Structures are given as C-alpha cells and as structure tokens.
C-alpha cells in the first residue's frame, strides 16, 4: 500500500547481512517537500534503510516505490540513472573529490548529467552563493573547514535539483554551531525546491529540523508525529 501523495515509500523491508538482521519489516514514506528524520540507536538499521530507499542496497524482501515505480523492477543501469537524475546525497564526510576545486566539485554531477562546463559552473556558483560558500570556488576541499566543506557538499547535492535528498549524519563531524548552520541551510534549500529529505541522525537537535521523525529499533521503524 502506498500512502496517498507519497513520493517514496517502503513496505515490509527485510535485509540480512550474514547472521545480522539489519532490517526486520521496516516501513517508510516521505512526501514531496517533507523532511523526515530517521533516528534510532547505533546499529539499529538507519543507514541500511537509507541505502535501500536510495536503490544502493537491494532488500531481501519488501517493496520500495518511488514516484509510482517499483525499484525492484528496474535494471541496475536504470536505478543508477535514477540516482543521478532524481536523488542527491550528503554524507558525514569524504564525499568531495580532493583534486577538484569546490566549484568543480559542485559542478561535477551536472557535468556527469551532460551539462556543458559553462552552464554547469554557473549553476554551481549560484548554489554556492545560496549556501554562502561562493568565496571558496577556487579552493580545494582540503583547504576549507569542516562546516564549509559540508555546505559545499549540500550545494553539490542540490545542484541537480533532486526530488529526494538523502543525508546520512550530515552534521556528524561538525561542532553544534556549524551543524545547525548546515541544517538550517539544507532544510531551507530543500523546502524551497520542494525536495523530499531523508535525514539519518542520532541527534535530537538535528532531527528537530525535520517535519516528522521515524524511529528505527532492531530493524523495525515506528512513526513519531511531532506535536509542535
């Protein structure tokens, strides 16, 4: 069953690694423009859920539906193409290419999608302005701070106008001030482009930027409507 108006849903997901049951009947849904935080203790299955939703990991059982398509029915090539065209990703660290400048990093997914260099760099520059890191266009990732690097990564993830932004502990390596700055900018930018956000975090302070929280425990998920 797909909840009405949902963009991405998962039903009855199971995933086992050897003797470890990472997912044990997890459910999920997100609407366009909605920010959903996936919370829960370490090892509870949060990242596995995100990887399944993004088509990176194939669940052993269960259905994932994105925009009316069952991900399991797509070929690997079609799933990769969907990830490039419709999904954006922000991870905890290590996602920027160290040899490229920040501008080239932000322009990279646009270039991979076939945009010409000038057009890609103009879009990249606009996103860097939005994330207030446009003074770093010529720097390499090793020359910027952790918070600046994460804002560059958010600019890169949003530059292709994804319909779903997957963020796995995007502030995990930052101090609280920088973490809040990244979260404010990430959620504001995603809401203004009507992108859905799947945000994995174990920090309540970070989850507070979401519209809804899902708690994962022992591979099962539970919806927690926030009353606020």
Gap between the Cα atoms of 168 and 22, Å rounded: 16
First to last CA, the chain: 28
Q: Provide CB contacts within 8 A for 216, sequence distance 6+.
A: 26, 38, 39, 40, 44, 45, 46, 49, 222
26 binds ligand ATP (CB under 6 A): no
Minimum distance of ligand ATP from residue 93's CB (angstroms): 13
What tokens does 122 get? 């103009």
Query: Between residues 128 and 183, which has the closer beta carbon with respect to ligand ATP?
Result: 183
Encoding tokens for residue 154?
């958010």
C-beta atoms surrounding 132 within 10 Å: 13
Q: Which region among 17-25, 77-85, 102-110, 149-157 touches ligand ATP (by CB under 6 A)? A: 17-25
How big is the site for ligand ATP, counted in residues (CB under 6 A)?
A: 12
Supply the minimum distance, in Å, between the C-beta of residue 172 and ligand ATP.
9
Give the shortest CB-103-to-ligand ATP separation in angstroms: 31
Q: Can you tell me which of 2, 3, 17, 138 binds ligand ATP, judged by CB under 6 A?
A: 17
Stretch that binds ligand ATP, among 35-43, 71-79, 83-91, 189-197 (CB under 6 A): 35-43
Q: Is 22 in the site for ligand ATP (CB under 6 A)?
A: yes
Q: Which of residues 39-78 bind ligand ATP (CB under 6 A)?
A: 40, 42-48
CB of 161 to ligand ATP, least distance (A): 27
DSSP assignments along 69-120, one per residue: EEGGGS-HHHHHHHHHHHEEEE-SS--S-TTS-HHHHHHHHHHHTT--HHHH
Pairing of strands 35-39, 196-200: parallel
Minimum CB separation from ligand ATP for residue 41, in Å? Answer: 7
- The residue ranges that bind ligand ATP (CB under 6 A) are 17, 20, 22, 40, 42-48, 202
């Amino acid at each position: 069953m797909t909840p009405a108006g949902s963009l991405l849903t998962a039903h009855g997901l199971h995933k086992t690694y050897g003797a470890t049951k990472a997912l044990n009947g997890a459910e999920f849904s997100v609407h366009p423009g909605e920010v959903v935080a996936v919370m829960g203790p370490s090892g509870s299955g949060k990242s596995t859920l995100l990887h399944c939703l993004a088509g990176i990991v194939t669940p052993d059982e269960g259905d994932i539906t994105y925009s009316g398509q069952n991900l399991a029915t797509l070929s690997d090539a079609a799933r990769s193409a969907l990830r490039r065209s419709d999904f954006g990703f922000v991870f905890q660290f290590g996602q920027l290419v160290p040899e490229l400048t920040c501008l080239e990093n932000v322009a990279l997914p646009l270039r991979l999608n076939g945009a010409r260099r000038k057009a890609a760099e103009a879009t990249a520059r606009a996103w860097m302005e939005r994330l207030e890191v446009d003074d770093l266009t010529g720097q390499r990732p090793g020359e910027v701070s952790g918070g600046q690097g994460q804002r560059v990564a958010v600019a890169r993830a949003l530059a292709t106008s994804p319909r779903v932004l997957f963020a796995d502990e995007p502030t995990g390596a930052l101090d609280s001030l920088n973490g809040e700055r990244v979260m404010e900018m990430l959620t504001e930018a995603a809401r203004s482009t009507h992108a859905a956000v799947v945000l994995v975090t174990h920090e309540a302070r970070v989850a507070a930027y979401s519209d809804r929280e899902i708690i994962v425990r022992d591979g099962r998920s539970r919806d927690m409507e926030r009353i606020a």
